[in-house]
Amino acid sequence: MLIERRHSPRRLTLKEGRIFFDEKRSVIDCTVLNVSEKGANLRVPSTVDVPDTFELHIGNEIHAAWVVWKADGTLGVTWIS
């Protein structure tokens, strides 16, 4: 049995996103697979170049994000308050 550890439910989104880092001099395009009020799940071409913290743009929304996990081209991030 799988135990749900998330504090808020995820919503399927499948939106385009952009990861900005290095004082917005570097960007990685991503797909936002799902999002919650506390974080998101992202698909990226490669997790190798993604820093531990970055600014995530999803449409008009901007979130400061911290990487919780990386696996097979996906990232789990939480919002930095």
Q: What is the pLDDT of residues 54-73, one digit of tens each?
A: 999 999 999 999 999 999 99
CA distances 43 to 1, 2, 38, 52, Å, are: 26, 23, 17, 15
Q: What is the pLDDT of residues 35-59, one digit of tens each?
A: 999 999 999 999 999 999 999 999 9
- Which CATH fold topology does 11-79 show? Thrombin, subunit H (2.40.10)
H helices then E strands: how many in the chain? 0, 6
pTM: 0.86
